[in-house]
Amino acid sequence: MAQKIIRSQYHLYDEKIDTMAEVPDSELKPLPKNKDLKVIGKSIPRIDGNEKVTGAAIYTFDKTFVNIAHGRTLRSPYPFATITKIDTSKAEKLKGVIKIIHTYNTNEISWYWGNSKLFDKTTRYEGEEVAFVVAETEAIAEKAVRLIKVEYKELDFVINPVDAAKEDAPKIHEGGNIPKRRGHSTYSRGDFEEGIKNADVVVEEKYITEVAVHNPTEPFCSVVKWDDEQLTIWDSTQGIFSVRDSIASSLKIPQSKVRVITEYMGGGFGAKLEAGKYSVMAALVSKEIKRPVKVVLDRREMNLAVGNRPNSYQTIKVGAKRDGTLMALGLTNYGSMGAYPAGAGAHWPLRSLYKCENVTTSEYSVFTNTGRARAFRAPGHVQGTFALESILDDVAEKLKINPLDFRIKNFAPIDQDSERPYTSKKLLEAYEVGAKAIGWENRKTSGSDKGFIKRGFGLASQIWWGGGYPPAYATVKMNRDGSVQVLCGTQDLGTGTYTIIAQVAAEVLEIPIEKIDVLIGDTQATPYAPSSGGSNTAPSITPAVYDGALQIKEKLMSGASALLEVSQEKLVYSKGEIFESDNKSNSLKASEIVRKMRERVLVATGSRNESTSGYRVNTFGVQFADVEVNTLTGKIKVNKIVAAHDIGRTLNRQTLENQFHGGVIMGLSYALHEERVVDEFTGKVVNANLLDYKIATMLDTPEIDVIIVSEADELVSAVGAKGIGEPAIIPTPGAIANAVYNAIGVRINSLPITPDKVLMALNKEV
């Protein structure tokens, strides 16, 4: 199929990205509705499931070689300090130590965090890299790290973004703690002050969300190996091509000389979208010692040094008319991006979710002496949605309007920035079915439930992108025996990517899914696909697979026409066989066609279609929560979450529910448990482990009801799928917070909502 080059624009998290992409020259025929399909939309078990449950799947954590060496990192114990001396003599004398690198003995290597270096004589957060040890075993490397003597000059530090934004705060970088680029962002439409002036009810509140840490099951890890000038990196990453490019840039070698492989990975949640400094340090030493090097971060390092969801200090002001019409929405927010540049915004839900003519936001992403923020499953949206949905419930109560009716009243039918229609927006349908499923009619007036265990209901809406984008490619190969291999440079984070790729190919080619082999996660063996973030994996790659499979089908039809001496218009393709419509006995199987065409392999590379013109692509949904609050202990029990969403076509019902269950549980954990605690006097993280950093367990998991109100979104792609990774988590904390308020009649404006906060709030009301 003919291709063309276009300029493409898409949203990745909160950034608008411009790129060039190769796309199909003509529109592809959309897939039929799921009810008319045989494979897509069904609950197909994961094709890689057996390998994972039996232990046959090789994760980066499992990768090893006979002569492999092991790396460990010495990290700064202080939040802000200058290194005055490093003494590695004792460590170097330890038997089994191979090499130690640090700022005094390593040429400066540029790093892609602004003007950062691989090592710096100033350490700006507890956990920043000071030295890297490579030894025969991990245990020896750990012992050697403890033997390195470092002299530090401690500096005054700041850990709170509100404090760090003040003029007299310690300066973490030259130029101040609010960088000129992306440090302060503003947005406005209409006239906010006029909207407040014309409102009948005005509510202003402050909201705080704490820092949360990703803590995926598989630790951050890399295995690096040089073969002459060729570097191969087995990495636990969400973006094999982005890792390749950034490491090639840091080492100043061609991208063609770097190969990155991620066959399986055990979760990332956004933190693994970037290359790690540990990979570059391992590569530097590996080249010198001419041996492969493996580095695996422990839980403490993962809690200190590889990313987090930034905190937020939000002030929101809302004005509304007596009939419930929103007149003005305003937000001021401070977020900690840590010691190096990152995003810390939370404005998008307030700016876009509800109809309002007068909106203003002012956000500060502030340097602090803490670990750097990274993307974390719906960056900014989880924090922003919690605050927005909380204050909207308070406004609705002042107006004596049902919170659900209030949201319906302010439904936004089009995108308010561009004034473009959405490709699909079935939020009203989601409200209706979700409310019925949770039993919304049983909701009582806030705080009116009797007894010491009080029940409450709450809801929160969500908006996200997740429409996918080009460039994304997939190569489809059909062999002489009729088996198929699909190659794509994407990653499977544990979400079922292998399976949905196979499903699309199986659907188009009408062959059993068992005959399809999927190869992903290899920058040299597979065509380019974007990083797996922003809920963009499925909607980016499945249209490319669809295009590639259609091309194979077209080649088979063309070959059959020549071999059967029948015009293509008179041929029918069915179940991997092609026959003459008027004479079914005149037929050929796909495998026969490949053989008779004298092809060893029939090959086609498909591409993702051009992004939709004239529309905005978003996902929408609502989550309802049913909770119980014990007013004697402050303990909150979530009984049920209903998740009703418009996310385009369901590709695999089983993996979709897996995603939603994981997102709901993660959102619950963020709402009720998770919080990185930093000692304000020392700047040290006091719960940098999985014992003291509280995460929800199966005992905390409620009943979860997933309802999809959408069919295929044909304006997005011929496949019609949109992403679900982020929509699954975004509304959960807000829904739980509103349900807790409905139960006890007292608003808690900070996350996590822990038992002590509940009791303090109740006692304050007495």
Is the separation of the CB atoms in 482 and 589 below 8 Å? Answer: yes
Partners of 207 in the beta sheet? Answer: 314
Angle at 681 between CA 679 and CA 686, to 5 degrees: 20
Taking the C-alpha atoms of residue 444 and residue 455, their distance in angstroms, rounded to an integer, is: 9
Q: What are 624's two structure tokens?
A: 């309802």
Q: Is 674 a catalytic residue?
A: no
CA angle 117, 119, 124 (to 5 degrees): 85
Contact between 572 and 582 (Cβ < 8 Å):
no
CA distances from residue 589 to 478, 481, 578 in whole angstroms, order as listed: 12, 10, 6
Q: With beta carbons less than 8 A apart as the criterion, state whether 408 and 428 touch.
A: yes
Q: Which parts of 43-202 fold into alpha helices (H)? A: 49-54, 89-93, 138-147, 161-164, 192-197
Cβ atoms of 646 and 712 within 8 Å: the answer is: no
* C-beta atoms surrounding 36 within 10 Å: 9
Q: Do 526 and 520 touch, CB atoms closer than 8 A?
A: yes
Q: Report the length, in residues, of the chain.
A: 766
Q: Look at the block and give the residue holding tokens 């709170």.
A: 160
Only one residue has tokens 């009582």, namely 444
Alpha carbons within 13 angstroms on the beta-carbon side of residue 597 total: 23
Amino acid 476 reads V
* Surface-to-core class of residue 92, CB atoms within 10 Å of its CB (0-12 exposed, 13-18 middle, 19+ buried): middle
Peptide linkage before 30 cis (omega within 30 of 0): no
- Identify which of 126, 127, 120 has the alpha carbon closest to the alpha carbon of residue 157: 126
Q: Phi and psi for 274 in degrees, rounded to 5?
A: -115, 160
How far is CA 15 from each of CA 375, 595, 692, 716, rounded to the nearest angstrom? 12, 49, 34, 19
237, 240, 234, 225: which is closest to 488 by C-alpha? 240
C-beta atoms surrounding 101 within 10 Å = 21
Does residue 396 contact residue 324 with C-beta atoms inside 8 Å? yes
Six-digit token string for 239: 């973006």
List of residues 6+ apart from 360 with CB closer than 8 A: 186, 187, 188, 192, 329, 330, 331
- Among 129, 580, 675, 726, the active-site one is 726
Instruction: Quote the tokens at residue 99.
Output: 């090499």
Cα separations (Å) of 354 from 414, 460, 463? 10, 12, 10
Coil, helix or strand for 384? helix
Active-site residue list: 726
